[in-house]
Chain A
Amino acid sequence: MTLDDLTKSSGEWLRGTGPESDIVMCSRIRLARNLADFPFSNRANRGEKTEIEAHFRSAIDQAGLELTYIDVNGLGLLDRKFLVERQIISRELSDGEGPRGVAISSLENIAIMVNEEDHLRVQFMLSGFRLPEVWDAVNQLDDRLEEHLAYAFSPQLGYLTACPTNVGTGIRVGVMLHLPGLVQTKQIDKVFRALQKINLAVRGLYGEGSQASGDFYQISNQQTLGKAEPELIKILTDVVPQVLQYERAARQTLLNERRQHLHDQVSRAYGVLKTAQTITSEETMLLLSSVRMGIYLSLIDDLSIATVNELFLQTQPFFLQKLRGTELGAEERNVARASYLRSRLSNGRQAPRN
């Protein structure tokens, strides 16, 4: 698998197949792990980072894990940003320096970052609301790696991490939610405040808080110490259904009270995406969000949810440039984006794939 192959495929987590996938785009868990014999990444020199990378690569070989290792240090800016857009690597890894990389599985469920803030960030994700399944998978993956790696661990403090906010389990349990109903009925802030009160973090699609993130929000735990992993997961599996209930109620309110207006909004959004000749990323995200909600409310019936999910990522600046194989200015990107949208949305079918 090469980076260019990635432009022709998409991650499993975008398929919209899991439970509650009308709202829960995906469930993911990442574990922060460090090797006991090395300074943390920010204090490790080039040689040490190279060694950490080598230890890890040999561990995945010995564990027989079928992962492709991407040497991020050897990538240009375009490719690195492309991986960030795809949610495979973090901004921190992309903007970092020195030997670093990511190992991914062909379905992109697994992404293990090397030499990020911690030596290893082991991530597993699945479409829909499936945290217990994700935990089983990432836990096993972690076990298989650990057979060949000596982790930094203390009986009192657990897994030792570069930042004390991750110490203990080193776990971040998260779900990515699509909440256009709560945004439109202006209840979203209320929900966020409630979540923050119980110590959950809320972030946008790419970790930022921007409105231009297509009404996607990631909710995750902050506390990592003092509770076992299943307990931390349970906080999310208890709370998320309530958020889902609010979102469904909000969508129902919109349908009941403003059906015509909502249908019009969704249809116009779809119409613009199908026919525009130039379109910004912000507008695209906004319109795709309406279309995505419209599909689940049966206001659009000729478009697959997987296509819409993919388009959220595939209309991002660096994907388009990767697809065209060249750098594009903002104006050129808007034209390329509109053209790509038209090709993917013509007849409402998925574009042919390799």
Chain B
Amino acid sequence: MRCQRCQKEATIHLTEPIKGQRREFHLCQNCARKAGLSLPESPPDLALDAVLQSLITAHVGELVGELAERACPDCGIRFMEFRAGGRLGCPQDYRVFAAGLIPLIQRYHGATRHVGKAARRREDAGRRLRLRTRLRAAIAREDYEEAARLRDQLRPKDHQT
């Protein structure tokens, strides 16, 4: 992605609410400084988040368009938002954004494959997450019949935990 002012590589990405609307800014380091944005520079030994942030930016800065704008069908987060905030929205994001996340994970952990303790397999794990997403969508489009049906499915039966 290019800086909005000078067309250099943008490394600073901001989302700001302006008059009730979210506006995004993409700037390079220099233009961001000129615009008076103070860039956090934490001491190196405490900069875990900053390290992650720089990794995200270094890697995802090269990615344009499709991946940056891709949204998770379950939690709705866009890859851009993850890049800005450093937190994913739901477990499905690891699958949805695999193309962006795996290189990042490789760089941070030096590995991309889990070794060690494994959770027990549960056939229906994650099903409710999907149902809940559909429920939210149904309510948004005022499809109350569908919403009621989904609510029924979400009601705990076997799963009284």
What residues make up the interface of A, taking CB atoms closer than 8 Å to B? 34, 36-40, 42-43, 48, 55, 58-59, 62, 117, 139, 142, 146, 148-160, 162-165, 167-169, 192, 196, 201-203, 208-209, 222-229, 231
Contacts and interface: CB of A to CB of B under 8 A. Distances in A.
Given A43-B75, A150-B122, A192-B45, A163 B114 contact: no
Given A39-B129, A226-B113, A148 B88 contact: no
Given A37-B126, A43-B77, A146 B120 contact: yes
Interface in B93-123: 94-95, 101, 104-105, 108-120, 122
Q: 9 tightest A-B contacts by CB?
A: A226-B111, A158-B114, A228-B116, A153-B119, A152-B91, A37-B128, A36-B125, A43-B89, A225-B109
B101 A164 contact: yes
Contacts of B125: 36-37, 150-153
Nearest to A170: B117
B40 interface: no
Given A167-B94, A196-B45, A226-B114, A152 B126 contact: yes
A229 B124 CA distance: 27
A235 to B, nearest CB: 13
B100 to A, nearest CB: 10
A227 B95 CA distance: 21
Contact of B116 (A55, A169, A201): A169
A69 B124 CA distance: 28
A103 B85 CA distance: 28
Given A208-B46, A222-B48, A153 B118 contact: yes
Interface string B120-161: 101011111100100000000000000000000000000011
Nearest to A168: B114
B28 to A, nearest CB: 25
